[in-house]
Amino acid sequence: MKQDLDQKIIYSDFKKALASNNKNRERFDNAERNELDVMKIKILTEFALYDEAFKLSQNLIGNSEITAEQQGAVKNSKVVF
């Protein structure tokens, strides 16, 4: 799923990437959902949905299960103030 989303993001198919992310999240465990949320922040930023991206980034940063790599990706998304 991650590779599929990455490909959609690379080719600017953000609408399909966001739909796929939202549709399939319940099939994954918390660690994988965190990764999906990091990707969702990138997509929301591309759609200029900064309020939603910021809210999600704050939830992720406060999440004790997020990895250092994921935390770095969230901070690099430019929606964390």
Q: For residues 40 and 56, is the Cβ–Cβ distance under 8 A?
A: yes
Q: How confident is the model at residue 75 (pLDDT cuts 50, 70, 90)?
A: confident
Q: Where are the chain's structural domains?
A: 2-75
What is this structure's pTM?
0.71
- Provide the Cα torsion 25, 9, 43, 45; round to 10°: 160
pLDDT at 40: 87
pLDDT at 3: 66
Report the C-alpha gap between 66 and 76 in whole angstroms: 15
End-to-end Cα distance, the chain: 29
Q: How confident is the model at residue 4 (pLDDT cuts 50, 70, 90)?
A: low
Greatest Cα pair distance in the chain:
32
pLDDT in tens, 7-66: 666 556 777 878 887 887 888 888 888 888 888 888 888 888 899 999 989 988 888 788
